[in-house]
Amino acid sequence: MHQPYKEDTKQERYLTAALEECGYSFIIQCDWFDPYIVDFYLPELRMVIEADGKMGHLRKADAKRDAALLAGQDPEISQVIHITSTDVFAIMEELCQVLDKL
């Protein structure tokens, strides 16, 4: 992991703990996908996880960014997921639901 670009949010700290608990390796605030910096990148799953919070982000902007991330970057991304839960237990549940589908 490298030094974060910004102060992490409570949701990002909860996601970090949940990913560690699940045993996945990940990079926080990964800058490999220029011009984008993603909240979490899981190399072994080729997955990006965005911590959107309760309010989420701008849906159109997210859709455009997700499409660009999925359009053959190197390294290739197979999936972009957005976590909206902010409670530690809800985050773990939402994350487990996604990971169980793999």
pLDDT in tens, 17-53: 999 988 889 999 998 888 888 999 999 999 999 988 7
What tokens were used for 72? 């053959």
- Give pairs for 93-96: CB < 8 Å, separation 24+: 95/15, 95/18, 95/19, 95/22, 95/49, 96/22
Quote the mean pLDDT of the chain: 83
Helix (H), strand (E) counts: the chain: 3, 4
Residue with tokens 């909240």: 39
The one-letter amino acid code at 90 reads A
pLDDT band at 1 (very low <50, low <70, confident <90, very high): very low
pLDDT band at 2 (very low <50, low <70, confident <90, very high): very low
Q: What DSSP designation does 8 have?
A: P
